[in-house]
Amino acid sequence: MESIISIRNLSKTYASGFRALKDINLDIQQGEIFALLGPNGAGKTTLISIICGIVTPGEGSVTVNGHDILTEFRASRSMIGLVPQELATATFESVEATMSFSRGLFGKPPNPAHIEKVLRDLSLWDRRKDRIINLSGGMKRRVLIAKALAHQPQVLFLDEPTAGVDVEQRRDMWAMVRGLRDTGVTVILTTHYIEEAEEMADRIGIINDGEISVIEEKSVLMNKLGKKQLQLTLQKSLTAVPAELADYSLELQQEGNVLIYTFDTQKEHTGISELLRQLGKLGIDFKDLHSSQSSLEDIFVSLVSDKA
């Protein structure tokens, strides 16, 4: 895999003196969907804004397909489409007009067929003559996406694309993003919805306090950090975890009716069979058992709170 965006030792200090990015190194692979996760104020928007040319970088360098974002800004920016976090749209223009504007701005000759396709994909075709001011918030967000796609970018940045978009539209949007990836477009998205990253991303980066703490394949990340839990619903409730089982990380829940065993999927021995044998010896019967894996959300929360 070739990297389409390379970020080297990038730092950014705002005029206020605030250091929003600290020595970021990141490579985005051609054709992947990369999700950038992080709490409010982590520096996600700052990072994206620098790559797209909206915020001036501090130290370090960024290249897009080998083109430096400062010295070869035309080549690098032509490849990029950006959907900003803020809902900023030219209110009095029609949807159609604002898309033609976007396409022209990026140096492309008019192409009504492409515009129509994008508008249809985003269920905006029927509203193309409407002034943007008359659209709902979720529709405005889709107009921003349409604008970003108007010039057929190779790289698409989505800064919280689904904030304020209803569930059904969100699914459509995900499908559309996957469709884009299938045509070779690289997608970088930030989101607060972990399910979104879980659903969409090939790789995940976690940024906190201006530093990238984790960059990992999603599946690896979930495996590496994912804890599994085994839930045993007991025949007879217990008042306390028996002393013989003190070596296991066990917890009693629901008034002693449910015994929960947390184990690490990475370990060679999960200890499940030993535990079950022990339980048998102690005469503790159970009527049901099932295991569950922690979600990205749990992982994220634990990572971010570890740092704090």
Partner 1 sequence: MNFYGIRAIYIFEMSRTWRTLMESIASPILTTSLYFIVFGAAIGSRMGEIDGISYASFIIPGLLMLSLLGESISNASFGIYFPKFSGTIYEVLSAPVSPFEVVIGYVGAAATKSLIIGLLILATARLFVDYEIMHPLWMVSFLLLTAVTFSLFGFIIGLWADDFQKLQIIPMMVITPLTFLGGAFYSISMLPPFWQKVTLFNPVVYLISGLRWSFYGVSDVKVGISMVMILVFMLLCMLSVWWIFKTGYRLKD
Ligand X SMILES: Nc1ncnc2c1ncn2[C@@H]1O[C@H](COP(=O)(O)OP(=O)(O)OP(=O)(O)O)[C@@H](O)[C@H]1O
User: What is the binding site for partner 1 (CB under 8 A)?
Assistant: 14-15, 52-56, 73-75, 77-78, 80, 82, 84, 86, 88-93, 97, 100-109, 147
Cα angle 153, 184, 94 (rounded to 5 degrees) comes to 35
Residue 49 or 191: the one with the smaller Cβ distance to partner 1 is 49
Two tokens at 143? 């107009």
Segment lying near Mg ion (by CB under 5 A), choices 55-63, 82-90, 91-99, 131-139 = 82-90
Does residue 84 touch ligand X according to CB under 6 A?
Answer: no
CA distances to 54, 111, 122, 230 from 96, in Å: 24, 12, 13, 54
**Which x/- pattern, by CB under 5 A, does the window 33-52 give for Mg ion?**
-----------xx-------
Quick one: DSSP state of residue 94? B
Query: Binders of Mg ion: how many residues, by CB under 5 A?
Result: 3
Per CB under 6 A, the list member of 1, 2, 40, 167 interacting with ligand X is: 40
CB of 105 or CB of 175, closer to partner 1: 105
Q: What H or E segment, with its residue span, contains residue 117? A: helix 112-121
Interface with Mg ion includes 265 (CB under 5 A)?
no
213: contact with ligand X by CB under 6 A: no
CA of residue 209 relative to chain centroid, distance: 17
Residue 2: its H or E element: none
Q: Which of 24, 34, 46, 147 binds ligand X (CB under 6 A)?
A: 46
Q: For residues 85 and 123, which CB has a smaller minimum distance to Mg ion in the complex?
A: 85
Is the CB of residue 129 less than 8 Å from the CB of residue 160? no
Taking CB under 6 A as the rule, does residue 186 contact ligand X?
no
Binding partner at 43 among ligand X, partner 1, Mg ion, none, C-beta below 5 to 8 Å by kind:
ligand X
Biggest distance spanned by C-alpha atoms of the chain: 78
Q: Note whether 85 binds Mg ion by CB under 5 A.
A: yes
Rounded Cα–Cα distance for residues 175 and 169 (Å):
10
Q: Which of 64, 68, 131, 140 shows the shortest CA–CA distance to 96?
A: 131
The half-sphere exposure of 118 on its side-chain side, counting CA atoms within 13 A, is: 25
- Which CB, 9 or 291, lies closer to ligand X? 9
| Residue nearer to partner 1 on the CB measure, 14 or 289 | 14
